[in-house]
Structure 1
Amino acid sequence: MSSKSTRKAICILSGGMDSTLASYIAKNDGYEIIAVHFNYGQRTQDRELKAFRDICDDLEILEKYEIDIPFFTQIGASALTDKTIDVPTGGVEAGVPITYVPFRNGIFLSITAAIAEKEGATAMYIGVVQEDSSGYPDCTDEFIADMKKAINQGTKKDTHIDILTPLVHLSKAQIVQEAMKLNVPLEHTWSCYKEEDEACGICDSCRLRLNGFKLANQIDPIKYKAL
């Protein structure tokens, strides 16, 4: 077996549309995928975990990590992890929205780097999207580049990890189109910030997703309450 066929990549897989497409791209790039999912006290934690497990089955991923991060609920400061703060439903806000979880992607990438070093992986895939990130500061090219530099400085000399962000400059409509090309099972993905049975259709994440499908002239295969 050639070394190329055994290249490993760690995919941060939330169960959402973006991270799922990024994982399919990693497989298409020829990597053996190890999937990582974080339970961090988010409102839709159980539903996201189900999506993660379904997608791992779809991708025939044999090795996966389900990591619990309880301190995000202790910190609060985000509508996703503090149930006393309402998830906004009035459209995308200006500036950094209340759904931003403080330094979430930085923490996710740090933990994933530890797994990558242990597993001998040379790549980490994360489905950050700069254009449709709702103003999140941890979804930019600059942030990812700085995290990559810090991770490689803070690991062993023979550890070399690339952080790949194949969706960072795509719009939601382009993400839908790319997912269709790769036969991504979008019916197994979950994007809603509020609900776990049927997607609400009105939170920022649902709005971005639905608009992406509309602009791509496709029908979203999941059920929505508000539609």
Structure 2
Amino acid sequence: MTHPSALVLFSGGQDSTTCLAHALTRYQRVETIGFDYGQRHHVELQQRQVVLRALRARFPAWRQRLGEDHVIDMAVLGQVSETSLTRDMAIELERSGLPNTFVPGRNLVFLTFAGALAYRRGLQALVTGVCETDYSGYPDCRDDTMKAMQIALSLGMDRRFLVDTPLMWIDKAATWQLAHDLGQQGDAAGGGDALVELIVEHSHTCYTGDRSRRHAWGYGCGTCPACQLRAQGWARWRPSRAAPSSD
């Protein structure tokens, strides 16, 4: 194995939880990093701890691989961003064509700090859940951006990093399927369904931070772009087993 260890950029959402499962099947030593940047959906920082505890409890094959968790204070990012993820404002499209949920430079900053931590911790791969398939057009989620960041981090720190993007070319329906496939490798009672159930019950994706409404696919407002993508992916992946939503 060229890269025996990894640092997962872990927000506590569906995508990053799936990426964490991917890392736990691929790397011998895995740590996690989260960022507090004043996000409106701050509840994700609470849920990420719930997800980590649940993974350790339900997946014995991964328990020994899952190491330390790190949370970085990135309040300055929220201070310089005028977006609907960092301000109490309606979610809408900007003149640029991008939604105002786009936080300029967020993934670039996250990867830079993750790289610095990985350097200190001796971790070789950075695993992140960005993708170009089901996304809102964010330029810092593109494959070219990730390749450029891999080169910049490796050159700037004089250490060869891998930026691992397991979701880059799959949609949300395929992300649900990937979680199911990965869960079958985690030695948990219930197999792949166990990881899907964990993601549904404990992960958080909703941009408004709403955990008062439970749907077949998890908790959320049901109307923000993140909820819509998650719900549509669930409906395409498991229409015959999806229970009616609470709406």
- TM-score interval w.r.t. the shorter chain? 0.7 to 0.9
Question: What is aligned with 1:174?
Answer: 174
| Cα displacement string for residues 8-39 of structure 1 (whole angstroms, at most 9, x for unaligned residues) | 20000011111110110011113311100011
The one-letter amino acid paired with 2:237 is: A
Structure 2 partner of 1:138? 140
Say yes or no: does 1:194 pair with 2:208: yes
Within a 5 Å distance, the mapping from 1:1-227 to structure 2 comes to: 7-45=4-42, 47-57=43-53, 58-59=55-56, 60=63, 61-83=66-88, 85-88=89-92, 95-156=97-158, 159-183=159-183, 184=195, 185-186=198-199, 187-198=201-212, 199-217=220-238, 227=247
Paired letter, 2:125: A
Q: Is the 8 A contact 2:206 2:227 kept in 1?
A: yes
Distance 1:206 1:220 in 2: 15
Paired amino acid for 1:161: F
Contact persistence 1:36–1:66 (CA under 8 A): yes
Q: Is the 8 A contact 2:38 2:75 kept in 1?
A: yes
Post-superposition CA distance 1:33-67 (Å, at most 9, x none): 1100011111111x201221122221443301011
* 1:224, distance to aligned residue in structure 2 (A): 7.0
Normalising by the residue count of structure 1, what TM-score does the alignment of the two structures yield? Answer: 0.87
CA contact (8 A) 1:6 1:31 kept: no
Does the CA contact (< 8 Å) of 1:36 and 1:112 recur in 2? Answer: yes
Q: Which residues of structure 1 form unaligned runs of 5+?
A: none
Name stretches of at least 5 consecutive residues in structure 2 with no aligned partner: 57-62, 184-194, 213-219
CA distance in 2, matches of 1:155, 1:23: 24
Identity %: 31
Secondary structure of 1:166's partner?
Answer: coil
| Deviations, residues 112-154 of structure 1 (Å, cap 9, x unaligned) | 0001110111111000011112110011110000001100110
- Counterpart residue identity of residue 164, structure 2: L
| Shift in CA distance, 6/163, structure 1 to aligned 2, threshold 3 Å | closer
Q: Secondary structure at the match of 1:112?
A: helix
Alpha-carbon shift at residue 220 of structure 1 (Å): 6.7
- The whole-number CA distance in structure 1 between the counterparts of 2:8 and 2:144 is 20
Counterpart-to-counterpart distance in 1, 2:222 and 2:128: 25
CA distance, structure 2, for counterparts of residue 112 and residue 123 of structure 1:
10
Task: Output the CA distance in 2 between the equivalents of 1:192 and 1:121.
Answer: 30
Secondary structure of 1:62 counterpart: strand
The question of whether the paired residues in 1 share the 8 Å contact of 2:29 and 2:67 is answered with: no
Q: Supply the distance in 2 between the matched residues of 1:179 and 1:95 (Cα, whole angstroms).
A: 31
Q: Could you tell me whether the CA contact under 8 Å between 1:5 and 1:30 is conserved in 2?
A: no
**Does structure 2 conserve the Cα–Cα contact (< 8 Å) formed by 1:10 and 1:112?**
yes
How far is the alpha carbon of 1:86 from its aligned partner?
Answer: 1.3
* SS at 1:87 equivalent: coil
Q: What is the CA distance between 1:71 and its match in structure 2?
A: 1.2
The Cα shift of 1:5 comes to: 11
2-side partners of 1:141 and 1:37: how far apart?
Answer: 21
Q: 2: distance between equivalents of 1:174 and 1:94?
A: 29
Q: Secondary structure at the match of 1:64?
A: strand
Query: 1:87 touches 1:194 (CA, 8 Å); kept in 2?
Result: no
